[in-house]
A and B are shown apart, each in its own frame.
Chain A
Amino acid sequence: MAKTTLTRRALLKSGAIAAGALAMPSVVRAQSTTEMTMLAWYGQAEPDAVAAFEELHNVKITPKYYVGGEQMLALLAQSPPGTYDLIHADAEYVQQLVLANFVEKLDPSDYHFDDFYPEFHKFPGHWHNDELYAVISRFGFLGISHNLDAVSVKEASSYDVLWNEKNKDKVGHFDWHLPNLGVLSLRDGNAAPYDIGGDAWAQLQETTLSLKPQVRGFYDYGGVLSSLKSGEVTVMPGIGEWITGVLRRDGANVTTTIPEQGGIQFTESFSIGRGSKKADLARKFIQYTSSPEGQFTLANLNVFPAIIPSKVGWERMINEKPEDARHLGMFKGDGNSIDLIRKGRIHIRQLPVQQDLADWNDFWSAYKST
């Protein structure tokens, strides 16, 4: 039997070779993985949303999450062009992205618009001078979210339920003026809830102030979830399935009803950031989000479920997740979410047209302080 001696040099050499061999796959992977940045609302770049795309294209999406469209605009204004490859925004802020030259023009033929309901082929706010700047990813309706043990669907079919004596000290507000004042504007009978003149604005303030004695509190996202779940609050205007869908997953008996006076629509979309060096990859990501697979994924995000604009995506939701699809209004026949849009009961959330945004904000601060 041959005698083997292990010298110190040999040990170090073999150790280095072994370490190199072990590290090689990750080194190779690290070399070939592309990093792409995304400026988005929370949840849009979590594994449940992007893992399939990342694996398919060997890319790592690095998110920078923001809270509110104005913070997003401020972040973009403070960053050099090309900082963010993908920008996820609500429709009301896309026009401002375009005007500030923060986003690239898109080619509509690149995306799966043929799969979408016609209402989303040329969605207002995503187009500017007949050019496309953002592709809708998902949307939802805001009306009245309520605990079914305390407020029935029939009762919630009118915003007047908020003033009902039995809901005294049981009305909660998501602490953002835009959706709250939007639905209360609908309750006042304004056909265009955000485009109101001086008299209607004065009336809206009066209506809102008259609700204060009923109000339990003003909550952030976490507070909205816990207050509705615990029964602290039984009814909330201006929120939707993005809250009640999450709570139902946890067993809460809650739902969202769109009252007869109408509801507000929020819309999420993706754009390519101005100066992105990975614009091709960003385009592929938006193609993925508009594809049937991507649409199904987006409808079921962990952060909150939402309605998708893709007809093919709807089919899959109806077949695979019928209960969730029903709550979201993705079913066939009268009263589904597209039907509500076609009947004119849904109004797109937007920034105030005739007043300054600061006026609405100041009023909201005053309302909270009374």
Chain B
Amino acid sequence: MTSSLSIRRLSRLAYGGIWSLPLPLWLAGFFLGPMILLIWLSFWDVKNFLLTPDFQLENWKKMLSAPYFWAAYLRTFIIAISAAALVSLIALPCSLAISFFLSVRARMVVLGLFVVPFFTSYLVRVYSWQIYLTENGIVMKLLAAIGIDSGSLLNTPLALMIGLVTLTLPLVIVIQSISMLSLDKTLIDAAYNLGCGPCRVLFATVLPAVRPGIVLGALFAFIFSFGDFVTATYLGGGKFTTMSILIADTVKSGQQWPRAAVVALMMIATLLITALASIAFAYRRT
């Protein structure tokens, strides 16, 4: 009897273990392994354009004391946090409408439409924006037709934001909507029954309840914007040196992979801290 029980327990453990195995394997193979390699690489040397294993702090000293590194870091952080805030603000009314005002069928169609942009390469979408925003582009012509001479919008902060919104908005809307759809609707009814107006229901009931969705949506927008290379290069014209551009520049000239590894590690550290802080805030008990 005892042995049959322990066999059953063991087989249950094995069953659970097999299903759990892919995650640690994936993390070890595609996160921890490369991360260790990246950290190790940041201490290597480059001699005659060739990576040479070493253990020296020169790359860290060089990059962390370079004013252009900190300028790029600050710029990237500001751009990413601005994009996250902007996208969250744009996504909020869309998600509210999808979750509370659309029929189930219409909701499925609209959410499906927000997934459609992912069918096309982001690079292609950014190139398309160039056609709209360039000197003789469609937007300029429309503005000129109503008497506004705005010049080209390409390589401006606005173009940069347009690109990042293109990249992140659909995802943020989907995350926010899922969060709102899982909201217990009786809370809203209760708020109305207690005499709250629509604004109070929104700010005192709905938004606090869906805070994790809003914060996680903003976090994803931040992560994507912080690491984006395409928008900064093709809509920003390489004029706003971000951390990703700095990585490319560092590798391009002198094959300085170890210094590029320092930049990449600083980016990873920033994203990890931001993610942990965001998650803590999202699930904080009030």
Q: A and B: real partners?
A: yes
Chain A interface residues (CB < 8 Å from chain B)? 67-68, 70-71, 73-74, 77-78, 96, 100, 169, 175-177, 215-220, 223, 226-227, 230-232, 357-358, 361-362, 364-366, 368-370
CA distance A357 to B137 in the complex (A): 39
B187-216 CB contact bits vs A (8 Å, 1 = yes)?
Answer: 000000000000000000000000000000
User: Cβ of A232 and Cβ of B254 under 8 Å apart?
Assistant: no
Main SS at interface, chain A: helix
Chain A residue with minimal CB distance to B135? A231
User: Cβ of A231 and Cβ of B136 under 8 Å apart?
Assistant: yes
Within 8 A of A (CB), among B225-267: 233-234, 236-239, 241, 245-246, 249-250, 252-256
Residues of B within 8 A of A230 (CB): 134-137
6 A–B pairs (Cβ distance < 8 Å), ordered by A:
A230-B136, A232-B135, A361-B253, A365-B241, A365-B249, A368-B245
B243 to chain A, nearest CB (A): 11
CA distance A73 to B239 in the complex (A): 29
User: Cβ of B48 and Cβ of A100 under 8 Å apart?
Assistant: yes
Chain B residue with minimal CB distance to A212? B239
Residues of B within 8 A of A78 (CB): 50
B124 on interface, CB distance cutoff 8 Å: no
Q: How many A-B residue pairs have CB under 8 A?
A: 98
**Taking each of A218, A220, A369, which has the highest tally of chain B beta carbons within 10 Å of its own beta carbon?**
A369
User: Cβ of A70 and Cβ of B237 under 8 Å apart?
Assistant: no
Which of B50, B154, B238, B255 is in CB contact (< 8 Å) with A175? B238
User: Cβ of B72 and Cβ of A369 under 8 Å apart?
Assistant: yes
B118 on interface, CB distance cutoff 8 Å: no
B158 to chain A, nearest CB (A): 14
Chain B residue with minimal CB distance to A78? B50
Which of B135, B246, B252, B254 is in CB contact (< 8 Å) with A358? B254
Residues of B within 8 A of A77 (CB): 48-50
Which of A169, A219, A358, A370 is in CB contact (< 8 Å) with B238? A219
CA distance A74 to B48 in the complex (A): 8
CA distance A71 to B49 in the complex (A): 8
B82 on interface, CB distance cutoff 8 Å: no
B252 to chain A, nearest CB (A): 6
Which of B68, B130, B236 is in CB contact (< 8 Å) with A366? B68
Given contacts A220-B233, A362-B68, contact A215 B239 (CB under 8 A): yes
